[in-house]
Amino acid sequence: MKKIFYKIFILFSILSLGISTISFCDDIDEEVIDVNAEILETDSSAQPEIKVPETNSRACVVIDRKTNTILYRKNEKEKKKMASTTKIMTATIIIENCNLDETIEVSKKAAGTGGSRLGLKTGDKITIRDLLYGLMLRSGNDAAVALAEYAGGSIEGFAELMNKKASELGLTNTHFETPHGLDSDEHYTTAYELALLSNYALNNTTFSQIVGTKDYTITINGYPKQLSNTNELLGNFEGIYGIKTGFTNGANRCLVTACKRNDMDIICVVLGADTKKFRTQDSVKLINYIFDNFKSVNIEELIENKFEDWKTENLNKIIINKGVTQNINLEIENIAKAIIPIRKDLIDSININIDFPLYFEAPIAANTQLGNINISVADYFDFNYKIYNCFEIKHKSWNKYLFELFKNYSSILNTTF
């Protein structure tokens, strides 16, 4: 009897271990890497020609923060598990909707959450703000559940808030089921949409401050607890100011990084790296690739110069049939993406085309689109901007026709005699 009980106990222990290995979201794993060594190893600044980096991660993207333009892509629109990078949305919901100075009591459910933990116990008293630091620095799943219960009433209720926000942001290939990111078939995003979400989140100064903090002391039940950020690049690589790590067996290693140097500000996302070493290497490779090989270009200036040259050559050729005037005042719509990073070897291949007919029928209402300007370069971007007339051009009235007829007739008579 004892032998049977012992075997059952061993089997149950093995199964429990297997389940926890599959399910737990554990950013603080046992893999140790020398970040500075990885940075030196992946330095690309001395390369004589521009080479697109090869990456281990299953999906990657780098976007320009000012314009959301994609600068590097690899399976960037494929649905992927995102592990604890989920907490970017969790923190965003809390910051936008809650009083961060309020103190709450931790529930049994939150305290019992596995994986990477802040170390909360049932009945602990802690502020929402300190829970956010525990969420984003220590990647505490217990903190995630405590916050979800506070803001959404339950994990399911909070997931509804997360999906509503995703919809508001236009993230059509993103779906949330939990606040922490434990593996689930219906919990996914894409590298590109995660980058867009991160860009949105970083516009909030509270969020940006939290994810850019290397070390922080929180208080639980009046006692201090020191936290260190799980982001291995923060504080070790020039320009890094956030934002979040992630790891599950289903998602593998994930990292979202924000980096700013001089006038360029980017977000780099790597999903599905086999190891923390590869996660770091891929991120460093991509960040180096962008800052070594891209240059900010003022496309607004290029477009305006091209348009002025076109007007000089073509304005007097435009015919407005039956219009009270042939004078037309043209403008281009606001160019929101005015300055864009472009790979240095592609700058000379920027293509600007103006599509504008030279014949119109009056009347023409004010602010009517009459043509467009397209600017593109390789596979990086392809933007269209409207050309519109500033003022109304009315149809000639019958008395205007009579006046012109009389004027023309008088002119003929004067010439004849």
Any bridge partners for residue 103, and if so which?
Answer: 127
Q: Are strands 223-228 and 215-220 parallel, antiparallel or unpaired?
A: antiparallel
Find the catalytic residue in 139, 277, 283, 285.
139
Find the catalytic residue in 66, 80, 81, 87.
87
Spatial distance between the Cα atoms of 306 and 302, rounded to a whole number of angstroms: 6
Residue 87 falls in the annotated catalytic set: yes
Nearest alpha-carbon partner for 134 in 223, 206, 219, 198: 219
* Cβ contact 80:116 at 8 Å: no
Tokens standing for residue 259: 């980096």
Residue 84 falls in the annotated catalytic set: yes
Any bridge partners for residue 271, and if so which?
Answer: 59
Altogether, the residues listed in the chain come to a count of 417
Torsion of CA 295, 298, 303, 304, to 10 degrees: -150
* Cβ contact 320:360 at 8 Å: yes
Indicate left, alpha or beta for 379 from its phi (over 0: left) and psi (-120 to 50: alpha). Answer: alpha
Nearest alpha-carbon partner for 256 in 88, 396, 104: 88
Find the catalytic residue in 57, 84, 116, 283.
84
Positions annotated as catalytic residues are: 84, 87, 139
